[in-house]
Amino acid sequence: MGVNELLDLVSSSEFVQLEARADRKSLFSIVDRTFTETWHSMFLGWILDPLGSHGLGDYSLKRFFLLIANALLKGSESNPSLAAKIAVLGNLVDAEVLPREADQNEFSCPAGRIDVFIRIPPSNQN
């Protein structure tokens, strides 16, 4: 990456927004419990994982998507139809959730670490 590309990157509005979000205080930092944040991520990953030992299958994950669709309906500019369609019609048994019991690592990508990541195979999104 050249100097011009680097300057374009750090001056882009998306980069500035990402940097501002990275420096925000979180609930965990306010109560001085940042080390327990991974506990919460592990719990959420476990409860949303269709293959989790809880025996709920994809019920929790479907309810999660219904919750998202409901929140979108209550005043967001986003279209809630995809979340509702996935929750009602999607076969989420094959969804991959990270972290989970079998893999306690959080999902990492070039943008950083994602606390709870859900990947739904395209054929299951209807």
Checking if the pLDDT of 3 tops 60, the result is: no
Residue 75 one-letter amino acid: G
Q: What is the pLDDT of residue 79?
A: 66
Q: Residue 125: which pLDDT band, with cuts at 50, 70 and 90?
A: very low
**Annotated domain spans of the chain:** 32-124
pTM, two decimals, is 0.57
Task: Determine the Cα–Cα distance for residues 125 and 102; give it in Å rounded to an integer.
Answer: 24
Sign, CA dihedral 33-35-39-41, equals positive
Higher-confidence residue of 59 and 15: namely 59
Q: What is the pLDDT of residue 65?
A: 84
Checking if the pLDDT of 111 tops 70, the result is: yes
Q: Partners of 118 in the beta sheet?
A: 97
Q: What is the pLDDT of residue 49?
A: 92
Q: What is the pLDDT of residue 31?
A: 67
Q: Are 107 and 101 in contact (CB under 8 A)?
A: no
What is the pLDDT averaged over residues 87-92? Answer: 80
Q: What is the pLDDT of residue 38?
A: 78
Q: Residue 50: which pLDDT band, with cuts at 50, 70 and 90?
A: very high
Residue 13 one-letter amino acid: S
